[in-house]
Amino acid sequence: MKKGFVLLFSLFSIVSFSQMTLSKLDGTPINDNDILNYNIANETDGYLGIKVYNSSSNGINVKAKCVSMANTTGTNVQFCIDPICVANLVVGNSYPSATLSLLVPANGQNGNFDHFFNSNLGIVQGVNVDYVFKFYQVDDSDVEIGNSVTFTYRYNPNLSTPNMDLLTNSSIRVDATNVSSTLQFSSQKSVTLEILDLNGKKISSYSLAKGNQAVDVSKLSNGIYIMSFTTVDGEKLTQKFMKK
């Protein structure tokens, strides 16, 4: 009976610690080992707002560690985790400092203050710039407990996501980039459309004739995606769109 009680207590302890999850501001989940790609190094286009959710009945203390970096010295960034912001990252450092942590209330979430963006083009320009972050929980003695989420923020200068001006000046006309159920566009040529997530993973693909087209995206979760067009003669165009 005693062994059964110890086992039950251990299982309860494991479950009770597994309560922290992350997402972007638009609700897109940030999962363990995700790579989040951005192709522009500035605050407007490279902004990653980070939401931290706590599903437990007690408040949790959260910190973020810079696990590693690639092709950067850690300068020309902004990393904010309540109550601090830093403009330089150091590998191995956790934020906030040893005496502080982000407090996420029971069955609640943080505010919209916590974020990261990169303005560093890289030591070698034209090559990916990576920042690996680990969000984790600590107890009142600053000892790590519970689950954690590790992800990579990547500035990928070779990721093509041109703006709508390029699309509207091409053989493809996209009606809107904020849609609830249908992507509508017209093409002067036969075209292949691929829908990708922001990590570049293909979700669906369509081979379409020239003319007006409507593609059903109602089953996609709300969030930001990429539509990638390739015409029959090899013209390639990509654009982000919001499924709401």
CA separation, residue 242 to residues 70, 124, 128, 181, 221 (Å): 30, 32, 25, 11, 10
Cα 15 off chain centre by: 26
DSSP lists the bridge partners of residue 172 as: 187
* 116-171 residue pLDDT tens: 999 999 998 888 899 999 999 999 899 999 999 999 999 988 775 444 444 444 67
Give the helix ranges, DSSP H, for 124-194. 164-168
Q: pLDDT class for 17, splitting at 50, 70, 90?
A: low
For 3, phi then psi, to 5°, come to -65, -40
* 71-130 residue pLDDT tens: 999 999 999 999 999 999 999 999 998 788 889 999 999 998 999 999 999 998 888 899
pLDDT of residue 199: 67
Q: In which element (H, E) is residue 161 found?
A: none
Side-chain half-sphere CA neighbours of 7 within 13 A: 4
Average pLDDT over residues 171-200: 86
Radius of gyration of the chain (CA): 21
Q: In which element (H, E) is residue 14 found?
A: helix 2-17
pLDDT of residue 190: 92
Q: Which residue has the tokens 């999962």?
A: 31
Asked whether residue 4 carries a pLDDT value surpassing 80, the answer given is no
